[in-house]
Amino acid sequence: QLELVESGGGLVQTGESLTLSCAASGRSFDSFGSLGLGWFRQGSGKGREFVAAIGGSWSGGVTKYDDSVKGRFTVSRDNAKEILYLQMNNLKPEDTAVYYCAASQQFGGAVKMEYQYSYWGQGTRVTVSS
Protein backbone atom coordinates (compact mmCIF):
# COMPACT_ATOMS: atom_id res chain seq x y z
CA GLN A 1 0.00 0.00 0.00
CA LEU A 2 1.09 3.53 -0.78
CA GLU A 3 0.42 6.01 2.01
CA LEU A 4 -0.04 9.71 1.32
CA VAL A 5 0.11 12.40 4.00
CA GLU A 6 -0.77 16.02 3.29
CA SER A 7 0.55 19.00 5.22
CA GLY A 8 0.74 22.77 4.94
CA GLY A 9 -2.89 23.73 5.32
CA GLY A 10 -3.96 26.59 7.53
CA LEU A 11 -5.81 29.87 7.86
CA VAL A 12 -4.82 32.72 5.57
CA GLN A 13 -6.32 35.96 4.33
CA THR A 14 -7.49 36.72 0.83
CA GLY A 15 -4.57 37.29 -1.51
CA GLU A 16 -2.06 35.35 0.56
CA SER A 17 -0.22 32.16 -0.40
CA LEU A 18 0.17 28.64 0.92
CA THR A 19 2.14 25.61 -0.21
CA LEU A 20 0.69 22.17 0.39
CA SER A 21 2.88 19.10 0.50
CA CYS A 22 2.00 15.45 0.10
CA ALA A 23 4.57 12.92 1.25
CA ALA A 24 4.42 9.35 0.00
CA SER A 25 5.56 6.33 1.95
CA GLY A 26 5.00 2.62 2.14
CA ARG A 27 5.25 -0.04 -0.51
CA SER A 28 4.26 0.53 -4.08
CA PHE A 29 4.40 -1.63 -7.15
CA ASP A 30 5.63 1.28 -9.21
CA SER A 31 8.26 3.88 -8.57
CA PHE A 32 6.93 7.18 -7.32
CA GLY A 33 8.15 8.87 -10.45
CA SER A 34 5.89 6.81 -12.68
CA LEU A 35 2.69 7.64 -10.79
CA GLY A 36 0.13 10.15 -11.93
CA LEU A 37 -0.51 12.52 -9.01
CA GLY A 38 -3.30 14.93 -8.31
CA TRP A 39 -4.89 17.38 -5.92
CA PHE A 40 -8.60 17.51 -5.19
CA ARG A 41 -10.60 19.60 -2.75
CA GLN A 42 -13.93 19.45 -0.98
CA GLY A 43 -15.63 22.53 0.33
CA SER A 44 -18.32 22.51 2.99
CA GLY A 45 -21.49 20.94 1.63
CA LYS A 46 -19.89 20.23 -1.73
CA GLY A 47 -18.58 17.20 -3.54
CA ARG A 48 -14.91 16.58 -4.07
CA GLU A 49 -13.58 18.43 -7.11
CA PHE A 50 -10.45 18.29 -9.22
CA VAL A 51 -7.83 20.99 -8.66
CA ALA A 52 -4.59 20.00 -10.39
CA ALA A 53 -2.66 17.00 -11.63
CA ILE A 54 0.84 16.16 -12.79
CA GLY A 55 1.88 13.20 -14.89
CA GLY A 56 4.69 10.76 -14.25
CA SER A 57 8.13 10.69 -15.80
CA TRP A 58 7.05 9.21 -19.12
CA SER A 59 4.69 12.14 -19.69
CA GLY A 60 7.41 14.71 -19.12
CA GLY A 61 5.54 15.91 -16.07
CA VAL A 62 2.55 17.28 -17.97
CA THR A 63 0.21 19.32 -15.77
CA LYS A 64 -3.50 20.06 -15.81
CA TYR A 65 -5.52 22.55 -13.79
CA ASP A 66 -9.12 23.33 -13.14
CA ASP A 67 -10.07 26.65 -14.69
CA SER A 68 -10.83 28.10 -11.25
CA VAL A 69 -7.19 27.83 -10.16
CA LYS A 70 -5.35 28.24 -13.45
CA GLY A 71 -2.75 30.97 -13.19
CA ARG A 72 -2.87 30.97 -9.37
CA PHE A 73 -1.93 27.40 -8.40
CA THR A 74 1.13 25.41 -9.46
CA VAL A 75 1.49 21.66 -9.03
CA SER A 76 4.97 20.13 -8.90
CA ARG A 77 6.70 17.01 -7.69
CA ASP A 78 10.07 15.93 -6.30
CA ASN A 79 10.47 12.31 -7.30
CA ALA A 80 13.68 11.84 -5.33
CA LYS A 81 11.98 12.94 -2.11
CA GLU A 82 8.64 11.38 -3.13
CA ILE A 83 6.73 14.57 -2.42
CA LEU A 84 3.93 16.29 -4.33
CA TYR A 85 3.42 20.04 -3.94
CA LEU A 86 0.67 22.54 -4.59
CA GLN A 87 1.74 26.17 -4.54
CA MET A 88 -1.34 28.33 -4.07
CA ASN A 89 -1.10 32.06 -4.70
CA ASN A 90 -3.66 34.84 -4.57
CA LEU A 91 -6.00 32.72 -2.48
CA LYS A 92 -9.69 33.51 -2.46
CA PRO A 93 -12.44 32.64 0.04
CA GLU A 94 -13.87 30.20 -2.50
CA ASP A 95 -10.63 28.20 -2.23
CA THR A 96 -11.61 27.25 1.31
CA ALA A 97 -11.79 23.46 1.44
CA VAL A 98 -10.13 20.29 2.59
CA TYR A 99 -7.42 19.48 0.08
CA TYR A 100 -6.58 15.87 -0.77
CA CYS A 101 -3.64 14.46 -2.69
CA ALA A 102 -4.05 11.31 -4.73
CA ALA A 103 -1.88 8.88 -6.67
CA SER A 104 -2.79 6.85 -9.71
CA GLN A 105 -1.05 3.54 -10.23
CA GLN A 106 -3.03 2.75 -13.38
CA PHE A 107 -2.83 6.13 -15.10
CA GLY A 108 0.59 7.72 -15.34
CA GLY A 109 -0.62 10.92 -16.94
CA ALA A 110 -2.22 14.03 -15.49
CA VAL A 111 -5.73 12.68 -14.96
CA LYS A 112 -8.73 14.53 -13.61
CA MET A 113 -11.29 11.94 -12.48
CA GLU A 114 -11.51 10.56 -8.95
CA TYR A 115 -11.98 6.98 -10.15
CA GLN A 116 -8.61 7.14 -11.89
CA TYR A 117 -6.80 7.43 -8.56
CA SER A 118 -5.95 4.44 -6.39
CA TYR A 119 -4.56 6.08 -3.28
CA TRP A 120 -5.74 9.08 -1.27
CA GLY A 121 -4.44 11.10 1.63
CA GLN A 122 -6.51 12.11 4.64
CA GLY A 123 -6.69 15.76 3.66
CA THR A 124 -5.46 19.09 4.96
CA ARG A 125 -7.76 22.03 5.61
CA VAL A 126 -7.28 25.40 3.95
CA THR A 127 -9.34 28.34 5.13
CA VAL A 128 -9.21 31.68 3.36
CA SER A 129 -10.78 34.59 5.22
CA SER A 130 -12.17 37.61 3.41
Q: Give me the pLDDT at residue 106, please.
A: 85
CA distances from 113 to 48, 53, 128 (A): 10, 10, 25
Dihedral sign from CA coordinates of 69, 74, 79, 80: negative
- Give the list of residues 6+ apart from residue 111 with CB closer than 8 angstroms, or none: 36, 38, 53, 64, 104, 117
Q: Give me the pLDDT at residue 16, please.
A: 98
Per-residue pLDDT tens over the stretch 1-57: 899 999 999 999 999 999 999 999 986 656 899 999 999 999 999 999 999 999 998
Distance CA 95, CA 90 (A): 10
8 Å CB contact between 65 and 73 = yes
CA distances from 95 to 7, 56, 79, 117, 119 (A): 16, 26, 27, 22, 23
